[in-house]
Amino acid sequence: MIKLTIDQIKLAEQLLIMVMKKEPIVEYKELGDRISPPMFHRQVPGNIEVISKLCYQLGLPFLSTKVVTKGINVPGEGFYKLYTQYFPEAKKLTPNEVFSEELKKIRECTRCFLFKRTKRTRRYLLFQKSWDECTKWFSSTLSI
C-alpha cells in the first residue's frame, strides 16, 4: 500500500472536500494554496500522481482528475500518461475523453477515504467510508 506524506494527505483531503462540495475543477496553483503551508504549484503534479496511484490501489477514481492546467482546464500530460499505464485500453480514447469519463466516475463514486491520526503512534491511518460518512466527518471536523 502506498504511503502518503503529510503534504500529500493535505492535498488528498482538499480534493475530497472538492468532491463533497461538488466543485468542478481546481488549478494546480489554487490547490497548492489551499493547504498550509502552501505548496508551490510546480510541486503539486508529482504529489497528486502519488495520490492517483493510491486511488488505483483502492479501486477509486483518480482524484487528480479534478486538478487542471491554468487556462486550458484539463489535467496535465502526466495525468493521461499515468492513467494509460494503469488502464492500457484507455489509449483508444483521447485525453479529453479520459478526463470526462474519470470526472463522471468521481461524481458516481459512493466511497471515499479518510485519514485519521492516531494519538498513540501519531501515524495517519487510512479508512474507506461511504460518502455520507465522509461528509459527516468533514463537516464536523472542518466546519464546512
* Three-state secondary structure of 4-40: CCHHHHHHHHHHHHHHHCCCCCEEHHHHHHHCCCCCC
Contact 138, 20 (CB under 8 A): yes
| pLDDT reported for residue 143 | 42
Q: Which regions of the chain are under pLDDT 50?
A: 142-144
| pLDDT reported for residue 115 | 60
pTM for the full predicted model = 0.82
| pLDDT reported for residue 85 | 97
| pLDDT reported for residue 110 | 78
CA distances (Å), origin 26, targets 11, 45, 51, 57, 70: 12, 12, 16, 24, 9
Give the angle 68-71-73 at the CA atoms, nearest 5°: 35
Residues ≥6 apart with Cβ < 8 Å to 31: 11, 14, 15, 39, 44, 48, 67
| pLDDT reported for residue 118 | 57
| pLDDT reported for residue 6 | 87
